[in-house]
Amino acid sequence: MIGLMAFLGNPGKEYAKTRHNAGFMLCDYLYPGMTYQMKYHSQFAKAGSIMILRPMTFMNLSGTAVSEAASFYKLRADSIMVVHDDLELPLGEARIQKGGGLQGHNGLRSIKERLGTDGFYRLRIGIGRPLHGDVRLYVTSPFTKDESITLQSLFPLIGRMLATPDKEQRVSVP
């Protein structure tokens, strides 16, 4: 059973609508008006039996926040779900899986290093891969208007998928 959901992103207004903040955007959709407190280097809240974590460490150091919360609450890795952007999935697609490769995602790498395992669940939000150019610039650039519309169409599908969050599954915008 999932006890902690860590929504990854970068803090600050300049990153608010960027691809790397797809996790923060989904959190805002799923938990509108949530009141957070600063704990574990994060914005932290509880929604029923689920703890919500929005690391304020910047993406590449997300493991600090996740491991501190997991340690305090004595959570096993398989009760943690990390929600993040994913270059390997096309925009408009999302997937829940347990473990798996890091595909160069530094936020996931940080979490794996700090937890000592990749045995946590991942909710991967597809952002697509750029055809040309620097991936670092791509993930920190804003979604286009059409991409934002696709993402907003995906979020309700993800919400329904989270009814059984510890089951591997996939959804996509038609």
Looking at the annotation, which residues are catalytic?
20
Question: Own/partner pairs for 26-34, CB < 8 Å, 24+ apart?
Answer: 26/83, 26/123, 26/125, 26/155, 26/158, 27/52, 27/54, 27/83, 29/152, 29/155, 29/159, 30/155, 30/159, 30/162
165 C-beta neighbours (distance < 10 Å), count: 15
How many C-beta atoms surround the C-beta of residue 163 within 10 A? 8
List of residues 6+ apart from 154 with CB closer than 8 A: 92, 93, 94, 125, 171, 172, 173
